[in-house]
Structure 1
């Protein structure tokens, strides 16, 4: 499995993450200034709080704006990570990695915050289990 070292600390935004399910209808708003491939996505579920939304890659919808249908599942949860922390990387999407820390906590972290390590790099070469 691929690993990376955090070179720039990352903190998740102070808002609850949203989950978008394949086939779900959502409202798409503005594009992110720093990450133009992301669009502000508001859940239309009657159980969701008014205006509850998050940034989702626009490529995951059937429309570029307005009402759209999700083409796949997506979770906006981001991962808090400190500089020099080693993370396990699962998959990349729109220049972000779905990563896991040593405690098993998972979430998105920007690729620009990471230094990719060689797949065969061991933290402790004397440890035969690493």
Structure 2
């Protein structure tokens, strides 16, 4: 697996993460201004979060999820080393030394060469 050094501390937003399941019906709102590949997604029970728009069969309004997705983000300090699992929409699903997992933006990371130290 790849590793990366965190170059800019990252903090998860102050709202609970949501999980979207493949086949789940949701309501899509506006695109994020900083991350236009993400759309505000509201679940039937009213909770919402940012999810990559490519994971839905529509662009706005009612839509169906094409894959599972968890909006959980990883809190990370500058200079921390994280293990990267996979990338989606310029974010990496990563884990830290404590075993915490979540998304962290690529722009907050310096990827470490797989053959490096």
Give the TM-score, by structure 1 length: 0.88
Equivalenced residue count is 117
Q: Pick the structure with greater CA Rg.
A: 1
Spell out the pairing of 1:72-111 with structure 2 (5 A cutoff). Answer: 72-111=67-106
Spell out the pairing of 1:1-130 with structure 2 (5 A cutoff). Answer: 1-44=1-44, 48=45, 51-122=46-117
Structure 2: where are the runs of 5+ without partners? none
Give the TM-score, by structure 2 length: 0.98
- 2: CA distance, partners of 1:121 / 1:98: 21
Structure 1: where are the runs of 5+ without partners? 123-130
Deviations 1:11-56 (A, max 9, x none): 0000000000000000000100000000000001xxx3xx310000
Runs of at least 4 residues off by over 6 Å: none
Cα RMSD, aligned residues only: 0.6
